[in-house]
Amino acid sequence: MGSAPELRAGIASASSAGERVALRTERATSALLTQHAHRYAPAVMKSHLAALLALPLLAAACTTPEYGRPLPPGWPALLKLEPGDERPSFRESWAERHEALLALEHSIAWHQRPSSQQFFPIEGVDHRRSLASLEHFKRLLETSPTPEDFDAAVAVDFDIYKSAGWDGEGGGVLFTGYCTPILEGSLTANDTYRYPLYRLPDDLVKAKDGAILGQRQADGSLAPYPTRAAIEASGHLGNKGLELVYLADPLDAFIAHVNGSAVVRLDDGSERRFGYAGKNGREYRSLGRMLVEDGQLDADEVSLPAIRAWGESHPEELLEYISKDDSFVFFLEIDGPPKGSLNVDVTGGRTLATDKTLFPRGAIVFVDVDVPKKRTAVRTWWDELWGNEFEDYETVVYDRFMFDQDTGGAIRTAGRADIYMGIGDEAEWTAGRMRSPGQMYYLFLKESSFGSRP
């Protein structure tokens, strides 16, 4: 599935970039102290709080995290936690075990396919250990009588690995979101609906693992598949019966490409679902980032609504910017939920997309992050005073077990991950504002425990 949009959540404005960084650091530190402290194992609480209290002192000396920085060649993507190292508490996840089990079953089913074995070993984890980890984790979810029992059993039976993150030392991960939006469309082209989603063309060649090999030439050779701009300028896909559905807005079509799936509501009220079939193999370029780099939008105000508003005011420029993204996605009509790069159903709030050259496919991942949420409280006078500067939402704790079941199309680092938020307007609202620092932890059965199992 395609990568999530490169969109920024809005925050209150400040008079300089330095002030905005200071505001974010202060707010993040306060939030971590109040929201995260109680969720860590008691044995490491004291050191965790000390580290958090030191953050304001360190902030001035630290550079802005380069979340897109690739790891050096040969550098491990997973860092094993040793005895005494800080680990998250898993107690609260026990109450959500039924939600996690559905996504867990998809990871088990993928591991049971013979084709899955070609992707192991990775990060020192072989296929047998990865599958055994999932099966044992399922048993713990189903049989642990209390949250405390579950937390203790996971800590005893599993090795926990922290992502190497943006700096290679576990410095953190930037989480964005993606979703399956609901868009308006038609099965036939007309004056309103003019922007098609296309099915996979015959001249696009893929390897057995889904990797794009290129465009088949008349002599049988392969060449790089054309870029988005070349495809649209040449009409290469026209008059071939490849159009699946037509949308009213070029930005809607682009959003479908970025997310890799869409639900399209037709004029008669019925809905059609479209999932990811492939892409042209070109690199994705973020629309939001381009607008910020060119001064069209402020970095602290970029969100999907902001991009939509800008596009409505600058329709011709919008088309020019979209054409600068070389990546072009193809679709197929589906009946059920969309599928990720493992060809299993993705699950809202439980499927994670990462760089699959670094991280084990289908693995158990505990995600420690906050996500945007619409406010339910009454707006204060301060909100009214600054009403033009920030949206009416807050961030909430979103710590939970997920499963690494998809590929981030634009992610080439251990410091980035995309969370699949689900289908519909609420999922799009959250995904469009999601850009939150956090951490992810991979769980695999301990070598001693795994070695003794049949």
Domain boundaries, the chain: 17-178+337-451, 197-334
Beta bridge partners of 245: 197
pLDDT of residue 180: 96
* Strands 351-354 and 400-407, sheet pairing: parallel
Lowest mean per-residue pLDDT among 36-45, 118-127, 253-262, 403-412? 36-45
pLDDT at residue 10 greater than cutoff 60: no
In 3-state terms the chain splits into helix, strand, coil percentages (rounded to 5) of 35, 25, 40
| Res 44 pLDDT > 50 | no
**What is the structure's pLDDT at 299?**
87
Give per-residue pLDDT as tens, 380-428: 666 666 554 455 678 899 999 999 999 987 899 999 999 999 999 999 9
264-292, pLDDT tens digit by residue? 999 999 999 999 999 999 999 999 999 99
Instruction: Give yes or no for residue 328 having a pLDDT over 50.
Output: yes
Rounded-to-integer distance, Cα 172 and Cα 165, Å: 5
Q: Which bin fits 71, alpha (ψ -120 to 50), beta or left (φ > 0)?
A: beta
- DSSP E strands in 155-312: the ranges are 158-163, 173-180, 182-186, 195-198, 204-206, 212-216, 222-223, 243-247, 262-265, 271-279
> How many other CB atoms are there within 10 angstroms of residue 292's CB atom?
18
Which residue, 141, 129, 148, 135, is CA-closest to 101? 141
Q: Which of 63, 169, 174, 68 is nearest to 437 (CA)?
A: 174
* Bigger pLDDT: 441 vs 383: 441
- Band of pLDDT at residue 245, cut at 50, 70 and 90: very high
- Give pLDDT, residue 210: 82
Least confident of 38-52, 89-103, 276-290, 429-443: 38-52
Class of domain 17-178+337-451: mainly beta
Query: Check: CATH 1.10.3720.10 for 197-334?
Result: no
Q: What is the mean pLDDT of residues 9-15?
A: 32
pLDDT digits (tens, 9 = 90+) for 169-221: 999 999 999 999 999 999 999 999 999 999 999 999 999 878 899 999 999 99
DSSP H/E element including 353: strand 351-354
C-alpha distance from residue 23 to each of 11, 26, 289, 375 (Å): 10, 5, 22, 20
Contacts of 111 (CB under 8 A, 6+ apart): 127, 130, 131, 134, 362
Residue with more model confidence, 224 or 41: 224
Q: Which residue has the higher pLDDT, 155 or 45?
A: 155
What token pair was written down for 388? 């033009």
Model pTM score: 0.80
- Quote the pLDDT of residue 301: 81
Percent of the chain with pLDDT over 90: 75
Do residues 36 and 443 lie in contact, with contact meaning Cβ atoms separated by under 8 Å?
no
Task: Write out pLDDT tens, residues 48-93.
Answer: 333 333 333 334 335 689 999 999 999 999 999 999 999 999 999 9
Whole-angstrom distance, CA of residue 363 vs CA of residue 451: 19
Q: What is the pLDDT of residue 35?
A: 37
